[in-house]
Amino acid sequence: MASIFSRIIAGEVPCYKVAETEAAFAFLDIRPLTHGHTLVVPKTEVDSLFELPEADYQAVFDLVRAVAEAQKAVIPCNRVGLSVLGFEVPHAHVHVIPLRSEADLNFANPKLQLEPEEFVELAHRLQSALEVPSI
């Protein structure tokens, strides 16, 4: 059975898409720690990021960098943090999270409750600031 992320990539499950390349896909986390919290996933479905072929691994981190730069351009933050956990979905993914402090990167924090319009607006702002072509 395909993971929820594979179903999002295939368009079977809706998402707030930020960017897509041949090998990677970025979309807003619907249970964000901060505004702009984005997930970057490989299109290849593997459980662990480190199981990816080198080219796919590099493609994921190229998109992670582009998303982080877009976040810094449009979201007030001091840094952008990354986390690779993988406990909740058995499909490799990187959390790319705009941070004002280290405390923002605590997954035990209450998640933000955003309206659909807020997600759409955030995704659009990030898309506009991205410096990678999206397919």
Active site residues: 93
Task: Select from 101, 103, 13 the least CA-distant residue to 39.
Answer: 13
Q: In this structure, are strands 24-28 and 38-42 parallel, antiparallel, or unpaired?
A: antiparallel
Angular region, 79: left φ>0, alpha ψ -120 to 50, beta rest: beta
Q: Which single residue is written with the structure tokens 């607006």?
A: 121
